[in-house]
Amino acid sequence: MSPDSETLLRSCALFSRLSGEDRRKVAEISVERHYDKGDQVFAEGDPSDLIFTIVAGRVKVVKAIPGGKELILEILGPGDPLGAIAAYEARPYPASAIALEEAVCIASKRAAFMALLETCPSLVRGLLGGFSLRVIELGKRLGEITGSRVEARFAQIFVKLADRLGRPRGTGVFVPIVLSRQDLADLAGTSMETSIRIMSRWGKEGVVSTESDGFLVSSRDDLEALAR
């Protein structure tokens, strides 16, 4: 990695709890990788030879489904690991990861990383702390899917997308992600028919409108009210 590799690692939540010495060890077995929008970080079915950690930009995790389509499973950002579970279990990546915008990842060699875990208890503790944050977020996500009204779940999805990826556009916020009605349905845990109905009504009411390259959140206040 570059001379500033330890600073890069320290800026990443996953490694921020480690000591300087442990970050140096991680840096020795890792490389920086830069991606443009649309670049593939790894493909579904590839050998999980590397463990990736996002340090800048956003990456979508997509799963191939019948009919040549892709389903977005997650949208991840700085501090989030990519392919870690597959690498730990030494099995192929179960989904693909694609940059939504310019992104930087730390790519750590799986075999060397696993060996480092064997000899570095503080690294294990630090990583467990970082992964626990991810588990908490996943728990919140499950809670939203199982414990909220469908429209509230849609609103929660768009509030999070606006916070993570939103760019000011006029008096609203533009979210540069193309998601199908089926993708939205799967994110919210509902049917495509319900997804179509909600998005159509929101478009007419001026809450969220669909554009060719993403979504325009026209009324953040309305979304937050719906998300409660």
Structural domain boundaries of the chain?
A: 5-142, 148-227
Tokens of 178: 């193309």
Percent of the chain with pLDDT over 70: 82
Highest mean pLDDT among 56-65, 81-90, 136-145, 198-207: 198-207
Over residues 17-38, the mean pLDDT reads: 86
What CATH superfamily is the domain 5-142? Jelly Rolls (2.60.120.10)
Confidence of residue 143 (pLDDT cuts 50, 70, 90): low
Q: For residues 144 and 16, give the distance between their C-alpha atoms in angstroms, rounded to a whole number.
A: 28
Among candidate residues 77, 83, 147, the one with its CA nearest the CA of residue 113: 83
Confidence of residue 126 (pLDDT cuts 50, 70, 90): low
Percent of the chain with pLDDT over 90: 28
Read off the pLDDT of residues 190-203 as tens digits, 9 standing for 90 and up.
788 999 999 999 99
What integer best gives the mean pLDDT of the chain?
A: 82
Checking if the pLDDT of 93 tops 60, the result is: yes
**For residue 42, what pLDDT is reported?**
97
Checking if the pLDDT of 107 tops 90, the result is: yes
Core vs surface per residue 124-142: b (16+ CB within 10 A) or e:
eebbeebeeebeeeeeebe
Domain covering 148-227: architecture: Orthogonal Bundle (1.10)
Checking if the pLDDT of 223 tops 60, the result is: yes
**For residue 161, what pLDDT is reported?**
87
Read off the pLDDT of residues 44-55 as tens digits, 9 standing for 90 and up.
999 999 999 898
What DSSP designation does 93 have? -
Q: Which amino acid would we find at residue 202?
A: W
**For residue 140, what pLDDT is reported?**
60
The answer to whether the CB of 28 falls within 8 A of the CB of 123 is no
Confidence of residue 228 (pLDDT cuts 50, 70, 90): confident
**For residue 44, what pLDDT is reported?**
94
Query: Do the first three CATH levels of 5-142 and 148-227 match, i.e. the same topology?
Result: no
The answer to whether the CB of 131 falls within 8 A of the CB of 88 is no
